[in-house]
Amino acid sequence: MTRQFTDGSTAIVRGAIDAGCTFFAGYPITPASPILMMMMAELPKVGGVAMQGEDEIASIGMCIGAALGGAKALTATSGPGISLYSENIGLAIMGEVPLVIVDVQRLGPATGGATTTAQGDVQFVRWGTAGGYPVIVLAPSSIPEAYTLTMKAFDLAERFRCPVFLLTDKELNMTRNTIESDSWRPAAVRERVVATGGAEYRYEPATDVPPMHHYGDQVMRFTGSTHDERAYITKDPAIVGSLNRHLAAKIDDHRDEIESGILDRQEGATTLFISYGITAGAMREAAAAARADGQKVSSLTVHSLWPIPETLLSEAMKGIDRVVVGELNLGLYRREIERIAGDRDVVGVHRIDGELIAPAEFLEAL
């Protein structure tokens, strides 16, 4: 069996190209810059376009324009860049633009620790734009998962016509590891549904996802304001309500298509470890060590952070009295677990000093 010595950034680039990505724009920012550099080197080889924008705002704007013109678009940044992306993320939600956004997390706030790992953007990517409408956020916990979930992000962006976040971190993206060649598992990526005929958008029934009209094929209107099915701005309450319900329902009513994770259940376990991203590796190692010591522990690696995978979490908590949530922040995702956990004891294992959580810290929480 062959092996590869690689990192998460390479896996994301490989996944994007295999998913059919044809356009990339980004601005240098540690620790996301390797994705920019690799996309500029590799995407032209398959006929795509990759470019460095003059700043983050211009970069995501280019991606929105490229997607509306028919491209499958990707951009990558870190927490400070997501701050600058915010307005255009809202535009992509309102305009129903399929777009994949990689957030390689680093320690905040502000410029924080540019070369320091963290998981502090969990709530930020969900609520960082106006309106509060749902987005899809996936979080790989290993290099092979970075490849697979990148492809899945492109598929979900096409399925739901919305921005999809791939939430990773400095440590996963910039640390090289040895990977078995057969661990790369591609995900199916559907082709874009393109409209024919008139330039009309239909929002009813509320769960419909309308096909796209590409600019250049016909005269089109595009606006970030509330609008009717032909993209004319309106304040008619019935039309505005229908539009906004549609933007939420097309994701919230299809959680079963989005939810994903790895549940490693041990019969008779009353303790459940939950984690995501880079911290999930330590969690899995801790669960294995606890079992070797005769303790019964189940573990859940969450891949789909948003919308909250309530069905998956509820299933994992069956028979569980104590939930241990590990993450590199002050407990941002633990709040969501507490909401679903009911009267179960929920314990957080957290670090915000730039160091990784060790398996021993999970074991101490037992």
List the chain domain ranges: 3-183, 260-365
Taking 70 as the threshold, does the pLDDT of residue 149 lie above it?
Answer: yes
pLDDT-derived band at 55 (thresholds 50, 70, 90) equals: very high
Q: What is the CATH number of domain 260-365?
A: 3.40.50.920
Same fold, 3-183 and 260-365: yes
Per-residue pLDDT reduced to its tens digit, 213-272: 888 777 778 889 999 888 889 999 999 999 999 999 999 999 999 999 999 999 999 999
Please state, in angstroms and rounded to a whole number, the distance separating the CA atoms of residues 58 and 62. Answer: 6
Please state, in angstroms and rounded to a whole number, the distance separating the CA atoms of residues 325 and 302. Answer: 11
pLDDT-derived band at 198 (thresholds 50, 70, 90) equals: low
Q: Do residues 175 and 210 touch, judged by C-beta distance below 8 A?
A: no
Taking 60 as the threshold, does the pLDDT of residue 98 lie above it?
Answer: yes
Please state, in angstroms and rounded to a whole number, the distance separating the CA atoms of residues 121 and 210. Answer: 30
**Residue 229: per-residue pLDDT:** 82
**Residue 207: per-residue pLDDT:** 58
pLDDT-derived band at 212 (thresholds 50, 70, 90) equals: confident
For the 3-183 domain, the top CATH level (class) is alpha beta
Q: Buried b vs exposed e over 216-242: b needs ≥16 C-beta within 10 Å?
A: eeeeeeeeeeebbbebeebeeeebeeb
**Residue 231: per-residue pLDDT:** 84
Per-residue pLDDT reduced to its tens digit, 59-88: 999 999 999 999 999 999 999 999 999 999
Taking 60 as the threshold, does the pLDDT of residue 199 lie above it?
Answer: no
**Residue 8: per-residue pLDDT:** 98
Please tell me whether residue 104 adopts helix, strand or coil conformation. strand
**Residue 200: per-residue pLDDT:** 57
**What is the average pLDDT value for the chain, to the nearest integer?**
94
Please state, in angstroms and rounded to a whole number, the distance separating the CA atoms of residues 120 and 117. Answer: 9
Other CB atoms within 10 A of residue 126 CB: 21
CB-side exposure of 345: number of CA atoms within 13 Å?
A: 7
* % pLDDT > 90, the chain: 89
pLDDT-derived band at 204 (thresholds 50, 70, 90) equals: low
Q: What is the mean pLDDT of residues 168-179?
A: 96
Rg over CA atoms, the chain = 21
pLDDT-derived band at 293 (thresholds 50, 70, 90) equals: very high
Residue indicated by tokens 């280019």: 62
pLDDT-derived band at 295 (thresholds 50, 70, 90) equals: very high
Beta strands in the chain (DSSP E): 3-6, 23-26, 49-52, 73-77, 99-105, 136-138, 163-169, 177-180, 261-264, 271-275, 297-302, 304-306, 322-327, 345-350
Classify the C-alpha dihedral 149-29-39-61 as positive or negative.
Answer: positive
Q: What is the mean pLDDT of residues 141-160?
A: 98
**Residue 211: per-residue pLDDT:** 87
Among 204-208, 270-274, 275-279, 321-325, the minimum mean pLDDT is found in 204-208
Cis peptide before 359 (omega within 30 of 0): no
More confident residue, 214 or 279: 279
Among residues 186, 104, 103, the alpha carbon closest in space to that of 149 is found at 186
